[in-house]
Structure formats: structure tokens, C-alpha cells
Chain A
Amino acid sequence: MASYAMLFITSVYALTVVVIALDLLEGRALRKELDQAMRSGGRLPYVRIFRRLAEAAVLWLIVAFFGQVLMGWISL
């Protein structure tokens, strides 16, 4: 039986992954508009790139969390 803490954290991570997936889908749906806006310069290209990098970082942190649970570094 999984602990309450494990279920709680897993739920938060699952929702985080869903939010990131929805963000990616939104990016695809608005691709033309975003590309056009990015060509006009400004901060948008940086914001978009760094947001994607941050999302990838969060996903890898989640992978590392479960990896460390399996390794025994984190016990719940």
C-alpha cells in the first residue's frame, strides 16, 4: 500500500505533467500565430524557449524523484 505522502506527491506530479502536455498542445495549435509574433522580435522568443526548457527541467526532476525512490535515497 502506497503511503499518503507518496499518493499526494504523485497526484501533484501527474497534474503537472498534464499542465505541461496541455501547454505543448496549445503551442502547436497556435504555432502560426506564435511564429509570426516571434518574428517581430522582442522578448517572446526568449520567453518561449526558456519556458520549454523549464518544463523539460520539471519533467526530469519528476523522473529523478521516482528514480531516487527506487534507489532508496527518498523514503516515503
Chain B
Amino acid sequence: MVSARNVAVTAVTAGLCLPLALFAIVLVPIPGLPAASGFWIPAGFYFVMTLWFGLWGALGGHIATFLAMGYFQGFTLQVWADGAVGDLIAPLVALAVFKLMGARPDLRSKRDKLAWLIGVPLASLVCGLWVHTVNLLFGVITWPFWWVGVLTYFIGDSLAVFAVGTPLLRSLTSYVKQSPMYIWRD
């Protein structure tokens, strides 16, 4: 059942992430790798919203990425959809890791921190594999660039989610807990 609050969470997530998805990307050169890694700042926000509010947060990130990718001229619908689906999958993978480990997103206990340390890189890796494998199958990239793409995606997304998401989870989860939309109950 979809409530007005679910829609509000998705809309707020999409509204927050859209300007970031359009403009807030910084390329970080990695020594030894022939490509810079995209420090994808909006990922930190939709990961956090997904860990607090579940699928509705992930859906907001998905919508923001889809709209933002469309801004760039020359991208085909496949590229938009590919990146946007990847950004829907990634935070849900992190959420699944938290569920499986019985962790909570306030990152207070050792288990919470471990789930965050495992969940974020795993989610970024799954997302990178998805995005670049689909790009490869559609002929957007060539095979020699596949592993570079996956690796830079893995590193860049993980760094951004750790840098942006960690302080948000640590400082705001105690307030979010008071919301009926919060998906975790102790």
C-alpha cells in the first residue's frame, strides 16, 4: 500500500539528489589506473535514505539519476536507464546486508559498523558490475575498459558513500527513529 508519506520520502530523496546528480561529481585520479574515479556524491544521500526508509529512498535515488543522466546530450535511453537501475540496486544491496546481519543504521554497535563497512563496497561492486556489463553488452564500452570501469565505479562510489553517508547516519538516525516511516524497530 502506497501512502502519502512513502511518496513524500521518494520525492524528497529525488529532490535532494537531482541537483547533486546533475552537478556534484568530482573525478578523483587513482594512481595506476588509466581512468579517474567518479566521486558520486548523491549516492551518499540515497544510501542513507534507503537505510532509513527502505525502497522509497532507493526509488528517489533512481528517479534523480534517471532525470540527471537525461540532461547530458548524446546519452541514449539505454545509458540513462542502465545507470538509474544500478542506482536503484546499490542501496537495496546495502539494505539487504544490514537486514541479514541484524544491524541498525545508527552505526553505534560493532555489528552496525561492520555491516556498513561490508555493505557499501559490496553494493558499489554490484552496481559497478551491473552498469558496466550492461554497457558492454550494448556496445557502449569495449571489453578492455570493462574492468577499469568496474574498479573505478567500485572505488569512487564507495568513497563517496562513506564520506557523505557516515556523518549523516551517525548524526541524524536518532531523530529519524522518531518517525513512523523508520523501517527498523528495536
Contact = CB atoms under 8 A, between A and B. Distances in A.
Interface of A: 38-39, 45-46, 48-50, 52-54, 56-57, 60-61, 63-65, 67-68, 71
Contacts of B23: 61, 64-65, 68
Interface in B8-33: 8, 12, 16, 19-20, 23-27
Contacts of B26: 63-64, 67-68, 71
A49 B168 CA distance: 10
A53 to B, nearest CB: 6
Interface string B33-56: 000000101001100100000000
A60 B25 contact: no
Contacts of A50: 12, 16
Given A61-B20, A64-B25, A56 B178 contact: no
Interface residues of B, number: 24
Contacts, number: 60
Contact of A57 (B25, B45, B175, B176): B45
Nearest to B174: A35
9 contacts: A45-B178, A46-B8, A48-B175, A50-B16, A56-B45, A56-B164, A57-B16, A61-B19, A71-B26
A71 to B, nearest CB: 6
B118 interface: no
A50 B172 CA distance: 10
Given A53-B168, A57-B16, A39 B27 contact: no
B175 A38 contact: yes
B26 to A, nearest CB: 4
Contact of B168 (A38, A48, A56, A65): A56
B73 interface: no
Interface in B115-129: none
Given A50-B12, A56-B167, A57-B16, 4 more contacts: A52-B171, A53-B12, A57-B24, A61-B24
Most chain B C-beta atoms within 10 Å of own C-beta, residue among A49, A63, A68, A71: A49
